[in-house]
């Protein structure tokens, strides 16, 4: 028989909602399924996906809370009579953040309603290529059929289940942002940027925070990692940038346990957690107690309960992510996927949104425009932020050879740090260009305040094929940090001191 | 004997006295730069790189109130730098308010201490003055803290603070004397009013302040003074931010009004009297309406004049060497190579006619000029699509055409304006305005929807705008803008 909907989107996150709302614009009959399986700790949330509920939004707000802590210290230097130290109350912040997130959940529901998109709060799984079966929390079954189905179920944090006590006693980012009470002395154990960002703001609000890392910082930072078939370009963070970021965090107060990996987590009678770990360098076993242990060891695609095998949607055997082509199509006709769940794509909200919209436009709007995953800018919101677009230095060298690239760099000091007597040792930027005539810019990396704001416009420039001479012709805005990008002159090759001096 | 000394030092003068036309076969310097500000210093340091013998003359005539400062020019001493630092102080005041909603606890109302701030700012400026002196010394540029003026085609008279005069000759000159604040020309203005030249080193809190003017200087100063907790009123003759996009200018004004700055519109002061002496004292300002006969009076601790700036070109002997200036404005017209009508005399910076009064422009122009003179370069300063930012409480960044100018040049039907309000994520939790931040781009429909104007109103507008300016320089089109992914969550992604 005829399918009930033109489009069914499974997953109400950044990609899913964008796709659904765009399709509705074309007058199509659209339905969205969204369901949040509670975390092992029992945390759950409303419509909107990771970004809104347990990702970008609460993360940036808590990062802001930490930045304001620094601002309070700076303020004294600028003449504000505020007695130090100022204390932070987690529950006030958490409530502010959680209330805002809830308003966004509400906003999304209203938007879907306004656009006449049907919303089901059910957990869906495939019965056949055009049918999804869902169960409500109460156990009631709903069947939805559609001509086209888009899978946008995203990912969830991984637990290192091989570590005793990890699942029972640890939390993840899924829980952190919804805690009603302070996490206290925290140990985020990480590989990813998530851990650094969380450790950063936890330190900033005054909590005793230690980061445990098995190897080098931000290794396998795949937030913006993708392999383009066309160019085999792989974007991974700069080792140099990662070091600067963590160096800053160390001077900021975050403790790091490098080359250590936990072996077990136990609960003490006081309700605190005892963590035992191996120190690979010293070959010793150490232990300490914490109030909270947070795992940030990666995210897994949420495909387990989808029943993908039944309909034949192929996934990557290693990552579990859904394999898609340049049109976001899976191995099954009329079934597509967007967002964090897709293999080889950056795990970023804006790319999911763009991909979702373009997909809807191609399906229903007679467009043929494909998503361009090249030169996607991104920012890590650590205490000293790191924004970047394009290739890392390593990737550029790999692609073009070190003789064919030029790296311009500079250590600068934000004006606002001067009176505040803040250390700017890690404020740094570098631009990777091709050496040949045109000197096209391959990548730009910036560490400093408001890194995201700085990088965004330059990302546009790179999209336009910006060259080094064009950047040199651009006059700076004074006094800002961003202007230093237009003043980059010293190359790494020259070996000269790259510290910016004066006006 | 001083006279004899001078003549001995300068054969040219001696020959002149003897009635012979001086044809010196060597000058004292390859280049003399008059004015040690952004443009002048950049040019001087660049010339030294090419092993030229360079001299910089810098001198600050004290303000009517007696304020003076060191090497570095307006930007460093009484412009961009102290302005941004005080703006930052005001922003931190706002941050203090926000921080409560983010969980930071302090019950007392936090007060601001002007002296603490000003001392810190002046200390930093002092370090910059020092840094410049060291930089000049290191690059072997001769620096004299003396007032320079032309006395002959290749001769400058330099007069120092003690009145001692010296003569120097050079093959080429760069005039980079910049500007100083204008006064109203009404009774009491020089005696009792201050300008931005005084504000940043004021040794006492200005208190209840009247800012006269509607320039960005006026609005920026009014903005941070209010942010520090002072009672501020702005007296505006007609429109705000003349020359800027008026839609954006009005939004800035609106925001300031809603956040505690009083505006008196369509009035001009006609006299300022002292009611009480002191630091600050009390001043009475009488003002007249520009649209009728109405007269109003008000009392303030401080009156800050910010009605414009005038080039320092009237008293440097330009008439003696035949350099043309615009008689009305005092600005110097130059060609696209910063050359005046006298071939060996150039000019850069705020004194140029028809060019933007911005530090980075002056620096760029100075450097490129010198490279053309001494390094065989041909690149000219690109004055097109120069980005700028006004550091009012709600910051405004812009690059390219204003909406009005775009309509005028291309016709309303040929441009498309895309716009959006946005609510910075950081403003949500502390419940700050959700309908004030705003961005718009102006596109030329006939040229592939090329972006010809970019305007943003919001936090960190400068940081946001810089990259867009680079993109616009690369010929950014709407399509390219649309296909660029945003960074989330930041303001710039709007």
CB contact under 8 A, A461 and B124: no
Please tell me the predicted confidence (pLDDT) of residue A219. 52
Chain B residue numbers with beta carbons less than 8 Å from the beta carbon of A416 are 84-85, 88
Q: Give the mean pLDDT of B332-349.
A: 96
What's the gap in Å between the CA of B37 and the closest CA on chain A? 10
Res. B482 pLDDT band, cuts 50 70 90: confident
Long-range contacts of B45-51 (CB under 8 A, 24+ apart): B45/B135, B45/B136, B45/B139, B45/B141, B46/B366, B46/B367, B46/B370, B46/B371, B47/B141, B47/B370, B47/B373, B47/B374, B48/B139, B48/B140, B48/B141, B49/B139, B50/B370, B50/B374, B50/B375
Sorted by where each starts, the structural domains of chain B and their CATH numbers stand as 29-74+116-178+312-375 (3.50.50.60), 182-307 (3.50.50.60), 395-483 (3.30.390.30)
Pair B173, B151: CB distance under 8 Å: no
- Contact between residue A226 and residue A373 where contact means Cβ atoms under 8 Å apart: yes
CA dist B212 and B233 (Å) reads 8
Q: Which residue of B has its CA nearest to A373?
A: B485
Residue B425 confidence (pLDDT) = 84
Q: Is the CB of B466 less than 8 angstroms away from the CB of A457?
A: yes
* Contact: B96, A75; criterion CB under 8 Å: yes
Q: In terms of Cα–Cα distance, which of B352, B316, B322 is closest to B337?
A: B352
Residues 407-446 of A with CB under 8 A from B: 415-416, 418-419
Mark which residues 166-205 of A lie under 8 Å from B by CB: 205
Q: Which of B135, B386, B464 sits opposite A475 (nearest CB)?
A: B386
- The answer to whether B488 faces chain A, any CB pair under 8 Å, is yes
Residue-level pLDDT at A503: 52
CATH class of the domain defined by A5-156+300-365: alpha beta
Closest CA to A157 of A299, A288, A52: A299
| A502/B contact by beta carbon, under 8 A | yes
Between positions 346 and 365 of B, the ones with CB within 8 A of A are 358-361, 363-364
Domain A158-296 listed as CATH 3.50.50.60: yes
| A298 among annotated binding-site residues | yes
Work out the angle at residue A370's Cα, subtended by the Cα atoms of residues A364 and A373, and round it to the nearest 5 degrees.
140
Query: A60 a known binding residue?
Result: yes
The pLDDT score that the predictor gives to residue B494 is 81
Whether the Cβ atoms of residue A243 and residue A217 lie closer than 8 Å to each other: yes
Q: Cβ(B45)–Cβ(B141) under 8 Å?
A: yes
* Two tokens, residue A444: 């730009």
The burial class, CB within 10 Å (0-12 / 13-18 / 19+), for B354 is: exposed
Q: How far is B430 from chain A (nearest CA, A)?
A: 8
Q: Indicate the pTM of the whole model.
A: 0.89
Chain A, chain B: beta-carbon pairs less than 8 Å apart: 298
> B-contacting residues of A 352-411, CB under 8 Å?
354, 372, 375-379, 387
On whether any CB of chain A is under 8 Å from the CB of B97, the answer is: no
For residue B72, which residues of chain A lie inside 8 Å, CB to CB?
A: 503
Q: What is the β-pairing status of strands A171-172 and A292-296?
A: parallel
Please give the pLDDT value at position B24.
56
Alpha-carbon gap: B276 to the closest alpha carbon of chain A (Å)? 27
Q: Where in chain A are the domains?
A: 5-156+300-365, 158-296, 377-494
Residue A151's nearest CA partner among A34, A48, A47, A9 is: A9
Q: Give the list of residues 6+ apart from residue A385 with CB closer than 8 angstroms, or none.
A: A379, A447, A448, A449, A450, A451, A452
Searching chain A, which residue's CA lies closest to the CA of residue B468? A457
Determine, for residues B489 and A418 on separate chains, whether the beta-carbon distance falls below 8 Å.
no
Question: What does the alpha-carbon distance between residue B183 and residue A248 come to, in Å, rounded to a whole number?
Answer: 48
Residue B23, pLDDT > 70, answer no
B124 and chain A in contact, CB less than 8 A: yes
Whether residue A458 and residue B470 make contact (CB cut-off 8 A), yes or no, is: yes
- Are B117 and A473 a contacting pair at CB < 8 A? no
Q: Which residue has the higher pLDDT, A237 or B338?
A: B338
Q: Which ipTM did the prediction report?
A: 0.86
Q: What is the pLDDT of residue A335?
A: 96
Distance CA A486, CA A352 (A): 31
**Positions of chain A with pLDDT lower than 50, given as ranges:** 191, 220-237
User: Of 3.30.390.30, 3.30.950.10, 1.10.3720.10, 3.20.20.140, which CATH number belongs to A377-494?
Assistant: 3.30.390.30
Partner residue opposite A501 with nearest CB, options B100, B131, B382: B131
The Cβ of residue A16 has, within 10 Å, a number of other Cβ atoms equal to 29
Chain A residues in contact with B468 by the CB 8 A cut-off are 456-457, 460
B371-404 pLDDT tens trace: 999 999 998 988 889 999 999 999 999 999 999 9
The answer to whether residue B426 neighbours chain A at the CB level (below 8 Å) is yes
Query: What positions of B carry a catalytic annotation?
Result: 488
Question: Per the annotation, does B253 bind a ligand?
Answer: no
Rounded to whole angstroms, how far apart are CA atoms B450 and B445? 7
What residues of chain B lie within 8 A of the CB of A458, using their CB?
466-467, 470-471
Given CB atoms, is B106 within the 8 Å cutoff of chain A? Answer: yes
A74 min Cα distance to partner chain B (Å): 8
| Closest Cβ opposite residue B425 in set A57, A94, A418 | A57
Mean local confidence (pLDDT), B233-249: 95
Given the DSSP bridges, would you call strands B437-444 and B415-422 parallel, antiparallel or unpaired? Answer: antiparallel
Q: Do A5-156+300-365 and A158-296 fold alike per CATH?
A: yes
The conformation of residue A302, written as its DSSP 8-state character, comes to S
Record the tokens describing residue A54, joined without a space: 């347990």
Whose structure tokens read 């005080």? B86
pLDDT reported for residue B435: 86
pLDDT tens for each residue of B259-303 = 999 999 999 999 999 999 998 999 999 999 999 999 999 999 999
The minimal CB distance from B473 to the residues A93, A470, A485 is found for: A470
Mark yes or no for CB contact B95/A72 under 8 Å. Answer: yes
Catalytic residue positions of A, numbered:
478
Contact map slice: B 144-203 vs A, CB within 8 A: none
> In the numeric block, which tokens belong to residue B265?
């519109």
A300–chain B Cβ distance below 8 A for any pair: no
pLDDT of residue A502: 61
Interface of B with A in 221-250 (CB under 8 A): 228
pLDDT digits (tens, 9 = 90+) for B418-448: 999 988 888 888 888 888 899 999 999 999 9
Q: Is the pLDDT of residue B454 over 80?
A: yes
Is B216 assigned to a binding site? yes
Place B9 in a pLDDT band, splitting at 50, 70 and 90.
very low
B483 touches chain A (CB under 8 A): yes
Question: What pLDDT shows up at residue B152?
Answer: 93
From chain B, the residues in CB contact with A18 under 8 A are none
Q: How far is CA B372 from the centre of its chain?
A: 26
Whether residue B48 contacts residue B54, with contact meaning beta carbons closer than 8 Å, is answered with yes
Q: Which of residues 144-163 of A touch B (CB under 8 A)?
A: none
């Amino acid at each position: 028989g005829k399918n009930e909907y033109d489009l069914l989107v499974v997953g109400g996150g950044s990609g899913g909602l964008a796709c659904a709302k765009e399709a509705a614009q074309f007058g199509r009959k659209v339905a969205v399924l969204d369901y949040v399986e509670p975390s092992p700790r029992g945390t759950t949330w409303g419509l909107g996906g990771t970004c809104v509920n347990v990702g970008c939004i609460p993360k940036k707000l808590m990062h802001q809370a930490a930045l304001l802590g620094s601002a309070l210290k700076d303020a004294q230097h600028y003449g504000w009579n505020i007695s130090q130290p100022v204390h932070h109350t987690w529950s006030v912040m958490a409530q502010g953040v959680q209330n805002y997130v809830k308003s966004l959940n509400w906003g999304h529901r209203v938007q879907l309603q306004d656009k006449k998109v049907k919303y089901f709060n059910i957990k869906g799984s495939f019965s056949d290529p055009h049918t999804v079966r869902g169960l409500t929390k109460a156990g009631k079954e709903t069947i939805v059929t559609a001509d086209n189905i888009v899978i946008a179920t995203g990912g969830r944090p991984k637990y290192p289940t091989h570590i005793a006590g990890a699942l029972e006693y640890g939390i993840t980012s899924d829980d952190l942002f919804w805690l009603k009470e302070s996490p206290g002395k925290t140990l985020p154990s990480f590989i990813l940027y998530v851990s650094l960002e969380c450790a950063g703001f936890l330190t900033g609000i005054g909590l005793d925070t230690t980061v445990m890392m098995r190897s080098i910082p931000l290794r396998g930072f795949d937030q913006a990692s993708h392999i383009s078939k066309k160019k085999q370009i792989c974007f991974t963070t700069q080792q140099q940038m990662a070091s600067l970021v963590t160096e800053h965090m160390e001077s900021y107060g975050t403790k790091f346990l490098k080359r250590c990996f936990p072996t077990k987590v136990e609960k003490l009678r006081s309700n605190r957690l005892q963590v035992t770990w191996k120190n690979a360098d010293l070959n010793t076993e150490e232990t300490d107690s914490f109030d909270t242990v947070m795992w940030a060891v990666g995210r897994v695609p949420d495909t387990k309960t989808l029943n993908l095998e039944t309909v034949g949607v192929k996934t990557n055997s290693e990552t579990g992510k859904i394999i898609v082509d340049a049109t976001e199509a899976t191995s099954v006709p009329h079934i597509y996927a967007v967002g964090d769940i897709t293999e080889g794509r950056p795990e970023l909200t804006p790319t999911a949104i763009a991909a979702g919209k373009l997909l809807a436009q191609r399906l229903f709007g007679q467009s043929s425009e494909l998503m361009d995953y090249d030169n996607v800018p991104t920012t890590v919101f650590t205490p000293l932020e790191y924004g970047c677009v394009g290739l890392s230095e390593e990737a550029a060298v790999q692609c073009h050879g070190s003789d064919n690239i030029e790296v311009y760099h500079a250590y600068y000091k934000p004006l606002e740090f001067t009176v505040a007597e803040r250390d700017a040792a890690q404020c740094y930027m570098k631009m990777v260009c091709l050496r040949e005539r045109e000197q096209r810019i391959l990548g730009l990396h910036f560490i400093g305040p408001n890194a995201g704001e700085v990088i965004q416009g330059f990302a546009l420039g790179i999209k336009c094929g910006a060259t080094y001479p064009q950047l040199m012709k651009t006059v700076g805005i004074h006094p800002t940090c961003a202007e230093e990008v237009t003043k980059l002159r010293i190359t790494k090759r020259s070996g000269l001191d790259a510290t910016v001096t004066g006006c | 004997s001083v006279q004899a000394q001078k003549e001995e030092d300068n054969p040219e003068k001696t020959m002149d006295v003897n009635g012979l036309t001086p044809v010196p076969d060597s000058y004292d310097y390859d280049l003399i730069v008059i004015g040690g500000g952004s443009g002048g210093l950049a040019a001087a340091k660049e010339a030294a790189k090419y092993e030229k013998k360079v001299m910089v003359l810098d001198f600050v005539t004290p303000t009517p109130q007696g304020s003076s400062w060191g090497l570095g020019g307006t930007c460093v001493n009484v412009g961009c730098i102290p302005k941004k630092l005080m703006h930052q102080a005001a922003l931190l005041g706002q941050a203090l308010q926000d921080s409560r909603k983010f969980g930071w606890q302090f019950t007392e109302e936090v007060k601001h201490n002007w002296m603490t701030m000003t001392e810190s700012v002046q200390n930093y400026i002092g370090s910059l003055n020092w840094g410049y002196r060291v930089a000049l010394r290191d690059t072997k540029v001769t620096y004299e803290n003396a007032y320079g003026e032309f006395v002959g085609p290749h001769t400058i008279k330099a007069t120092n603070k003690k009145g001692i005069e010296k003569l120097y000759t050079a093959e080429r000159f760069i005039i980079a004397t910049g500007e100083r604040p204008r006064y109203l020309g009404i009774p009491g203005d020089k005696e009792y009013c201050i300008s931005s030249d005084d504000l940043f080193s004021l040794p006492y809190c200005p208190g209840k302040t009247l800012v006269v003017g509607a320039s960005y200087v006026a609005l920026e100063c009014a903005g941070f003074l209010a942010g520090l907790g002072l009672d501020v009123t702005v007296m505006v003759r007609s429109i705000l931010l003349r020359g800027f996009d008026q839609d954006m200018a009005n939004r800035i004004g609106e925001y300031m009004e809603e956040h505690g700055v009083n505006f008196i519109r369509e009035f001009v002061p006609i006299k300022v009297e002292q009611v009480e002496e002191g630091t600050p004292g009390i001043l009475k300002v009488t003002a007249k309406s520009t649209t009728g006969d109405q007269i109003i009076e008000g009392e303030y601790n401080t009156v800050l004049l910010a009605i414009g700036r005038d080039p320092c070109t009237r008293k440097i002997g330009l008439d003696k060497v035949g350099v043309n200036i615009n008689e009305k404005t005092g600005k110097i017209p130059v060609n696209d190579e910063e050359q005046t009508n006298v071939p060996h005399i150039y000019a850069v910076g705020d004194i140029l006619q028809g060019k933007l009064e911005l530090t980075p422009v002056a620096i760029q122009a100075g450097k490129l000029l010198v490279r053309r003179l001494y390094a065989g370069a041909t690149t000219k300063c690109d004055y097109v699509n120069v980005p700028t930012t006004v550091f009012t409480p709600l910051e405004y960044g812009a690059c390219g055409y204003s909406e009005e100018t775009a309509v005028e040049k291309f016709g309303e039907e040929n441009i498309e304006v895309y716009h959006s309000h946005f609510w910075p994520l950081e403003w949500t939790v502390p419940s700050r305005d959700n309908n004030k931040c705003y961005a718009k781009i102006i596109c030329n429909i006939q040229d592939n929807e090329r972006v010809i104007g970019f305007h943003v109103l919001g936090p960190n507008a400068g940081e946001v705008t810089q990259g867009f300016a680079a993109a616009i320089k690369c010929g950014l089109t709407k399509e390219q803008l649309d296909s660029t992914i945003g960074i989330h969550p930041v303001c710039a992604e709007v």
